Amino acid sequence: MTKNVKKLVLFTVLAIFIIALCACSKTPADDIAPVISGLDTVFMDRESESLDLYAGVSASDVDGAGIETDVTAGLVVDLPSGANREGNKITFNNCGDYELAYTVKDAAGNETVQKRLVQVRNIYNVYCVNATLPVLYCALDMVSNNYKSILTFTRKDTINMDALDDDRFIYAENGAEDINLSFAKGMAVGIAKDDQYSYFRLFLNDAFNQIELFTFIQHNISSDRYEVKLVSDGSWTYNTAFPYREDGAWSKWEANRTLYDGVMAKALAGEFEREDNGRFYVEYEGTRVGSHYYSDSQLSQMAIMAAQRDNTQLWCAYPETLRSDDARVQAEIDKAHMPKMAPDEMYRNLTEEQKSKFLEIVDFDKTEFDANYFDKEGKYLIITGTNPFTGSFTDAEFADILSRIGDNYSDYNLLYKPHPSAATPAEGSLTAKWLADNGVKILPGKLPMEVISWVYSDVAMGGFDSSLFMSVPQGNTKFFIARDASSLSVLTKQLYDGGVFGTPEFYWKAQ
């Protein structure tokens, strides 16, 4: 082989090698389209809410080499007619169901178009509750949104009606009676029938969930047009309304299930009957469930059954304690929608502006309390009372308990919070003398103690067993005025056994 031929062969091999090398190093073809994430369906109020087009939305692309790139900045949104845009936020002129088209392209020209459903409604709150804790749940909700609202509270002293916006609260009655509830229900039903895009959030005591039957079900308002929040009635929720703890509770569950299903079936079938006084009721196998304003509680043990429905939730601070030793009952409880709704946490999660509004609604003047009660340096301890002022104790016995508490917590500034209905300690009594001698100020009895425990979240507390301690921040309960742990109420005992209170002491009559 000549030199020239050898050179030619060598050159050819080298050329083939270079061509092959170039072919191997060429970027693979990119035929993978970008992916858009976070385009969940949006449900919003036409009047008070806007949609941030890009909040929670992202787009990513993987090229032919498997390298992932964030292409969120390239997202483009095509808005439907009727949408108004200001920056990245949009509002709508009218209610309805709208589709927003999100488009993004990658460097190779691959395009993804994905649509997002936006349901625009006229949303209304309907608050129909009594008792302190349900009212406070509603007040916390009020400040977290600005929906038009209808309010009927029986708990007259808990909120400040002057703090409510008249334009927003189209009907509001504090200290409400049955006639007020009837009017409120009629107003909600009238709105529902006149406006196909109206949607309702109905707040009820969990003990009185029958009110739903005579608000929307009786008037054929479909369940996809409203949701129900059954809010905890305090200790009732965990004790009387929950008789399913023990092994063998299945028979009780079955009996209540039969009653609940029977009443609901008759209500859904429109089988309502009317009394001579104009009130309605549903009767099932001898049990009459009426439309009275908090006077009928035949369904009080059925809140968990109600919360198994798609449009209903049971709100309570400790849903994890609503458990049964009977596996069949527990399997049913697990089907219920019971988000953990701890009021103290709900308060902490409010913005400063919302907290200020909440305190105005519950008529709590923090500036005044700072000046008149929490005006000293150091730690504070609030002793909570009962009704009457000394409960089941003699004056001497109660004064002795207070004295022992005072000795053991001498490094605290002490305050006393009587039960709202408690009598003032008699002038000249040992109890009154001890309070005066030790400079212990008496907090207003009508003020919800729960609010104090949320606003002053580092204040220690102790006193008579009550539903209050279900709302006290964990670790702040220092003692109970009780014989021992076995004498606590069912839920308090359960929380005590679960370590929620830490290691509180017990104070009782001297032996």
| 439-462 pLDDT per residue, tens | 999 988 777 788 888 898 889 999
Asked, for residue 26, whether it belongs to a domain, the answer is no
231-235, 290-294, 439-443: which is most confident: 439-443
pLDDT at 35: 96
Out of 120, 155, 177, a domain closes at 120
Strands 42-45 and 83-86, how do they pair? unpaired
Judge whether residue 30 has pLDDT over 80: no
Asked, for residue 466, whether it belongs to a domain, the answer is yes
The verdict on 116 and 141 lying in the same domain is no
- The answer to whether residues 489 and 481 touch, using CB atoms and an 8 Å cutoff, is no
Q: CATH code at 182?
A: 3.40.50
pLDDT at 294: 57
Say how many Å lie between the first and final Cα of the chain, rounded.
Answer: 122
Asked, for residue 277, whether it belongs to a domain, the answer is yes
pLDDT band at residue 500 using 50, 70 and 90 as cut-offs: confident
43-47, 281-285, 288-292: which is most confident: 43-47
Judge whether residue 18 has pLDDT over 50: no
Q: Which long-range contacts (CB under 8 A, 24 or more apart) does 163-166 make?
A: 163/357, 163/360, 163/361, 163/363, 164/361
The verdict on 110 and 137 lying in the same domain is no
To the nearest whole percent, how much of the chain has pLDDT over 90? Answer: 66
The verdict on 391 and 262 lying in the same domain is no
Strands 312-315 and 379-384, how do they pair? unpaired
Out of 71, 90, 120, a domain closes at 120
The verdict on 72 and 42 lying in the same domain is yes
pLDDT digits (tens, 9 = 90+) for 354-375: 999 999 999 999 999 999 999 9
The verdict on 321 and 197 lying in the same domain is yes
The verdict on 116 and 135 lying in the same domain is no
CA–CA gap between residue 268 and residue 264 (Å, rounded): 6
Asked, for residue 3, whether it belongs to a domain, the answer is no
Q: CATH code at 400?
A: 3.40.50.11110
Asked, for residue 435, whether it belongs to a domain, the answer is yes
Judge whether residue 21 has pLDDT over 50: no
157 Rama sector, left if φ>0, alpha if ψ -120 to 50, beta otherwise? alpha
CA–CA gap between residue 320 and residue 219 (Å, rounded): 35
Judge whether residue 24 has pLDDT over 60: no
The verdict on 193 and 322 lying in the same domain is yes
Q: What is the mean pLDDT of residues 27-42?
A: 88
What are the angstrom distances between the C-alpha of 496 and each of 478, 480, 500?
12, 11, 6
In the chain, the number of structural domains is 3
Asked, for residue 11, whether it belongs to a domain, the answer is no
pLDDT at 130: 86
The verdict on 410 and 460 lying in the same domain is yes
Asked, for residue 96, whether it belongs to a domain, the answer is yes
Q: What is the mean pLDDT of residues 22-34?
A: 68
Q: What is the mean pLDDT of the chain?
A: 89
pLDDT digits (tens, 9 = 90+) for 297-311: 789 999 999 999 999
| Beta-ladder partners of 230 | 204, 314
Q: What is the mean pLDDT of residues 114-123?
A: 98
Domain that residue 208 falls in:
130-345
Out of 120, 144, 174, a domain closes at 120
**What is the dihedral sign for C-alpha 410, 425, 453, 230?**
positive
The verdict on 154 and 192 lying in the same domain is yes
pLDDT at 277: 78
